[in-house]
Amino acid sequence: MLEAKGLIAGYGAAEEILKGATVEIQSGEIVTIIGPNGAGKSTLLKAIAGLVPLKGGSVTISGVDVTRQDALGRSKAGLAFVMQEKNVFGTMSVAENLEVASFSNPSGMAGRRDAIYARYPVLAEKRKALARTLSGGQRQLLAMGMGLMTEPKLLLLDEPTAGLSPKAANELFDAIIELNTTGLPILMVEQHALEALQISTRGYVIVTGRNAATGAGKDLAVDPEIRRLFLGG
């Protein structure tokens, strides 16, 4: 579904942040990336989405090589990326946020928006509310809904539960599981590593821009070394 191999990328003249990181996601999977702060996890998602230029490596989506395509090209190839921050327009309504997310494919917009309202009724109730008035969990649902407006084949989520209460985080994990049951593969970065690995088919540990470990989510969640380093023992 997605193969991102040997990615090398960074910001301007600074030392490279990604030093050969590789991730893959098969159809139907939930895959979680964990690792220390500053390891390059967000940079990895941005590099996959075409928001950071690659100096090395390759990205394929459904077997199509998109390495030379920009973010819009990768979106058209089926990838949707929900950034960690600034992922909704606060001064626009819920409905307007969903509409602008459809800019690259306006035909059929209303039908796709209504499907998102059916999936997330709270967004339908709040369709006229400004996005900045939503709770953290509702805002994340809106950001995911905006990603879904492009009818992606693959969804990338950067720390979807960041800043949420434990209850809201659990609800969001439930929403992620539910979305995945539709067949949509999901690749996410999470700080709530244990909870995220437990709902993931597979996980990757990224340290200083390289793969440090990989395995089944449930195995990583009980690995003593991983627990000691990343999961608080």
Ligand X SMILES: Nc1ncnc2c1ncn2[C@@H]1O[C@H](COP(=O)(O)OP(=O)(O)O)[C@@H](O)[C@H]1O
Q: Which long-range contacts (CB under 8 A, 24 or more apart) does 47-52 make?
A: 47/4, 47/7, 47/9, 47/18, 48/2, 48/4, 48/7, 48/23, 48/74, 48/79, 48/81, 48/156, 48/187, 49/74, 49/79, 49/81, 49/156, 50/74, 51/81, 52/9, 52/10, 52/11
Q: Which is nearer to ligand X, 129 or 207 (CB)?
A: 207
Q: Which does 103 bind (CB under 5 to 8 A by kind): Mg ion, ligand X, none?
A: none
* Least CB distance to ligand X at residue 100 (A): 23
With contacts defined by CB under 6 A, name the span among 30-38, 69-77, 137-145, 214-222 that binds ligand X: 30-38
Q: Which does 22 bind (CB under 5 to 8 A by kind): ligand X, Mg ion, none?
A: none
CB of 199 to Mg ion, least distance (A): 19
Pair 98, 141: CB distance under 8 Å: no
42 binds Mg ion (CB under 5 A): yes
Nearest to 144, CA basis, from 107, 92, 108, 188: 188
Residue 37 CB coordination number (10 Å): 6
Lookup: tokens for 50: 């075409």
Instruction: Output the smallest distance, CB 189 to ligand X, in A.
Output: 6
- Of 35 and 147, which has the nearer Cβ to ligand X? 35
Count the site residues for ligand X by CB under 6 A. Answer: 10
Contact between 43 and Mg ion per CB under 5 A: no
| Bridge partners, 186 (sequence order) | 30, 155
Q: Report if residue 11 touches ligand X, rule: CB under 6 A.
A: yes
42 binds ligand X (CB under 6 A): yes
- 160 near ligand X, rule: CB under 6 A: no
Q: Which residues bind ligand X (CB under 6 A)?
A: 11, 17, 35, 37-43
Q: Which residues bind Mg ion (CB under 5 A)?
A: 41-42
